[in-house]
């Protein structure tokens, strides 16, 4: 496995790989790799000849006061996981390699970045879109693999790739969950044992929405009210949003129709947790 820390190194490796006629799949991550990331590596392996994983905790997508400094960075362990899962190259640059000067050029995906997490993390999706554009330009992959876990990130990246004619395919992979339903996340390690026991209520609230929609409920307000009732079982949860929006545009709905995204964000202690499901009303 090639371990590159500079842009020149990873570019040279990809150039050589492509010259040999091999396709390249790309999995961008912030490290602290877990089974969710591994599922993306496996999807990339199934579709492409070679797989590149990037490990970069991107400072421009964190606001002041968020967890940029304390975000886990177990690099040796991450490299071992990549090696074990047959990754061909890892790109793990330093912040100064990615941002050698004050950054003046930003990618902003209007509207799609604004609702849901956009309201609570100003600038977050601008940072995500900008770093993904940089990484796509550096790696030059045929396809990039993202998790449905971060549904708004997926919507932002898909729209950006379409609007800017970026020459790669975006592949979305299902959310990997713990046996009790909690979406696997690098941030779950911040939870205390008691919070970890309480956290599966988040997925139960999403399941409640799916049950209601399947039973024919169409009123968004009634569905979100029931979800809030489920979440109320854990008083320590501080809800940021419980939303049902159009799955592609992320626009608000009053009645469920077509493919909808049921998305929630909350804080449990000092940990911010997000989760979502997509329900296709026409096929339920
Ligand atoms: P992160 O390291 O948190 O930036 O995540 C890197 C990629 O892994 C993103 O595309 C995430 O959506 C994806 N990912 C994170 N957690 C999961 C999960 N539980 N299931 C599937 N994909 C995930």
Span 70-97, pLDDT tens digits? 999 999 999 999 999 999 999 999 999 9
Local structure of residue 240 (DSSP, 8 states): E
Residue 283 confidence (pLDDT) above 90 = no
DSSP run (H or E) holding 136 = helix 124-139
Q: Are strands 259-268 and 271-280 parallel, antiparallel or unpaired?
A: antiparallel
List pLDDT tens digits, range 204-239. 999 999 999 999 999 999 999 999 999 999 999 999
Pocket of ligand 1 (CB under 6 A): 29-30, 36-37, 39-40, 146-147, 149-150, 173, 175-176, 183-186
Please list the active-site residues: 37
Atom of ligand 1 nearest to the CA of 31: 2
Q: Find the helix packing angle between 151-163 and 124-139, rounded to 10°.
A: 60
**Among protein residues, the one whose CA lies closest to atom 13 of ligand 1:** 147
Which of 43, 127, 147, when mutated, tests ligand 1's pocket best, judged by the most ligand atoms within 8 Å of its CB? 147
SS3 183: strand
List pLDDT tens digits, range 94-137. 999 999 999 999 999 999 999 999 999 999 999 999 999 999 99
183 touches 149 (CB < 8 A):
yes
Alpha carbon distance 16, 116 (integer Å): 41
277 touches 143 (CB < 8 A):
no
pLDDT band at 284, cuts 50/70/90?
A: low
Alpha carbon distance 41, 146 (integer Å): 10
């Amino acid at each position: 496995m090639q371990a590159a820390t500079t842009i020149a190194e990873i570019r040279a490796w990809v150039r050589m790989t492509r010259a040999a006629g091999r396709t390249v799949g790309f999995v961008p991550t912030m490290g602290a790799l877990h089974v969710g990331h591994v599922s993306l590596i496996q999807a990339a392996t199934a579709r492409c000849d070679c797989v590149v994983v990037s490990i970069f905790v991107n400072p421009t997508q964190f606001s002041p006061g968020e967890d940029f400094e304390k975000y886990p960075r177990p690099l040796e362990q991450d490299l071992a996981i990549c090696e074990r899962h047959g990754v061909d190259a890892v790109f793990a640059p330093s912040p100064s390699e990615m941002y050698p000067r004050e950054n003046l050029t930003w990618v902003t995906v209007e509207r799609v970045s604004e609702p849901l997490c956009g309201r609570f993390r100003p600038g977050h999706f601008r940072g995500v879109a900008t770093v993904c554009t940089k990484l796509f330009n550096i790696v030059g992959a045929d396809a990039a693999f993202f998790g449905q876990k971060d549904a708004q990130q997926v919507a932002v990246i898909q729209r950006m790739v379409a609007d800017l004619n970026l020459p790669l395919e975006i592949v979305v992979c299902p959310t990997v969950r713990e046996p009790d339903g909690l979406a696997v996340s690098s941030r779950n390690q911040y939870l205390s044992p008691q919070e970890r026991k309480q956290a599966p209520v988040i997925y139960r609230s999403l399941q409640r929405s799916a049950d209601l929609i399947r039973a024919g409920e169409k009123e968004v307000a009634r569905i979100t009210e029931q979800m809030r009732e489920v979440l109320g079982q854990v008083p320590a949860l501080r809800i940021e949003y419980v939303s049902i929006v159009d799955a592609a545009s992320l626009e608000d709905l009053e009645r469920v129709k077509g493919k909808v995204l049921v998305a929630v964000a909350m804080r449990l202690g000092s940990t911010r947790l997000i989760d979502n499901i997509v329900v296709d009303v026409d096929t339920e």
